[in-house]
Amino acid sequence: MQSLIEIDSEKKIPKYLQIVNAVTESVKKGKLKKGDRIFSINELSNEFFLSRDTVQKAYDLLEEKGIIEPVKGKGFYINRTDITATHRILLLFNKISNYKKQIYNSFVQAMGDNTTVDLKIYHSNIKLFEDLLGSQFNEYDYYVIMPHFYEDIENARKLINKIPAEKLLLLDKDMPDLRPGYAAVYQDFRKDITEALETGIDLLKKYDKLILVHPKVTPYPYEIVLGFRSFCMQNGFAFDVIQEINPDTKIKSREVYIVIEETDLVNLIKGCRSKNLKPGKDIGIISYNDTPLKEILLDGITVISTDHARMGESAARLILENKKEKIKNPFKIIQRKSL
């Protein structure tokens, strides 16, 4: 039995889900058969140095799915082996990017192998979204949607409201005007940027002006602009909002640039080099969304970022535990030498 369960402390997947996934996979592959006894809660807890609560949580889920059953005075036994895909899930993302790939990968990994996940991209286009969503809501067990719409929002709301609330999970952004009863793992784009900048306010005070580069060609939530303006006005910072950084953009000393798109970040760095402006000394740079490259580029670029992997894991947990909670995903500033 020990060889059928592996617990990896380095994985971000919660340990109780690792137990659930391991037992389910062993049943699917025929390594565990109906009537086989598995570890008791105490045995599994002692074997892998886990808390009893962690094992109990896993066993409660397995029992709820009918995969195991307790036998009083004897332990836990495999109850059923007719396990195929226990969840069929439609993921509707507005676009694909490195950050959304992180969300997708962590979600799929946390859900485990006994789940079918169909990923479709609607490019923030309401007509394409409607076509991909379809009208038959018995095809999938869950509809996980990133609701980034920038036009015809009311129609998008009506379409999403057609999905039974118990089958709906919103990801990355909430839509509070929907009918209640759905789950969500979201960012609060307005509040997040305000609180992140508040954390770095002592470093920001050495600059004269803050500039947010909020792209127009590739739309991003306008709440970012609202939160940025609110922070600047409340703290007495001169500020501006521009749509892009290109070779003609006038980059000045003692300004801080907050950039979202990677292209704008590259053009900003090129502009600094052409004017001999040293990031972190002559000019400040803050980039949205952390990557390994940003840890080393320019000896470290300061970032404000949500935890994309955690977002995917939290969404999977809500589905696996059949919970209808709304969870605000963590967002923070990581201060490095570019500020």
**pTM score, two decimals?**
0.76
pLDDT at residue 170 in the model = 98
pLDDT digits 0-9 by tens, 117-152: 999 999 999 999 999 998 778 778 899 999 999 989
Task: Specify if 59 maps to a domain.
Answer: yes
- The dihedrals phi and psi of 143, each to the nearest 5 degrees, come to -120, 110
What's the domain range around 234? 190-306
| Last residue within a domain, chosen from 45, 78, 111 | 78
Distance, CA of 265 to CA of 219 (rounded, Å) = 16
pLDDT at residue 85 in the model = 60
pLDDT at residue 136 in the model = 76
Total domains in the chain come to 3
Distance, CA of 191 to CA of 171 (rounded, Å) = 17
pLDDT at residue 64 in the model = 83
Which tokens in the block code for residue 53? 């609560």
The domain that holds 35 is classified in CATH as 1.10.10.10
pLDDT at residue 147 in the model = 96
Distance, CA of 183 to CA of 327 (rounded, Å) = 8
Task: Specify if 211 maps to a domain.
Answer: yes
pLDDT at residue 51 in the model = 92
Which tokens in the block code for residue 39? 């570890």
DSSP β-ladder status, 75-78 and 68-71: antiparallel
The domain that holds 281 is classified in CATH as 3.40.50.2300
**Whether residues 27 and 166 fall in one domain:** no
User: Angle, to 10 degrees, between the axis of helix 189-199 and the axis of helix 223-235?
Assistant: 40
Question: pLDDT under 50 in the chain at which residues?
Answer: none
**Whether residues 229 and 154 fall in one domain:** no
Task: Specify if 336 maps to a domain.
Answer: no
**Whether residues 166 and 313 fall in one domain:** yes
Distance, CA of 60 to CA of 222 (rounded, Å) = 42
User: Angle, to 10 degrees, between the axis of helix 52-64 and the axis of helix 15-28?
Assistant: 40
**Whether residues 285 and 199 fall in one domain:** yes
**Whether residues 67 and 91 fall in one domain:** no
Task: Output the CA torsion 145→318→163→172 (10° steps).
Answer: -20
Tell me which amino acid residue 292 is: P
- Give CA separation, 165 vs 112, 162, 183, 324, in Å: 23, 8, 8, 9
**Whether residues 296 and 210 fall in one domain:** yes
Task: Specify if 175 maps to a domain.
Answer: yes
**Whether residues 47 and 194 fall in one domain:** no
> Which residues on neighbouring strands pair with residue 186, listed in sequence order?
172, 328
Distance, CA of 313 to CA of 116 (rounded, Å) = 16
**Whether residues 211 and 257 fall in one domain:** yes
Question: In which residue are the tokens 């060889």 written?
Answer: 3
User: Residue 93 in contact with residue 119, Cβ under 8 Å?
Assistant: yes
pLDDT at residue 1 in the model = 54
Task: Specify if 339 maps to a domain.
Answer: no
Spatial CA neighbour of 52 closest among 61, 43, 60, 41? 41
**Whether residues 162 and 128 fall in one domain:** yes
Task: Specify if 302 maps to a domain.
Answer: yes
Task: Specify if 335 maps to a domain.
Answer: no
**Whether residues 62 and 136 fall in one domain:** no
Tell me which amino acid residue 13 is: I
**Whether residues 315 and 180 fall in one domain:** yes
Which tokens in the block code for residue 314? 């939290």
Task: Specify if 277 maps to a domain.
Answer: yes
Distance, CA of 23 to CA of 76 (rounded, Å) = 12
**Whether residues 121 and 198 fall in one domain:** no
Count of CB atoms situated within 10 Å of the CB of 30: 8
Say how many Å lie between the first and final Cα of the chain, rounded: 53
| Last residue within a domain, chosen from 78, 110, 135 | 78
- The dihedrals phi and psi of 294, each to the nearest 5 degrees, come to -70, -20
| Last residue within a domain, chosen from 17, 44, 78 | 78
- Give CA separation, 297 vs 104, 109, 240, 259, 288, in Å: 26, 30, 25, 15, 14
Question: In which residue are the tokens 């793992």 written?
Answer: 185
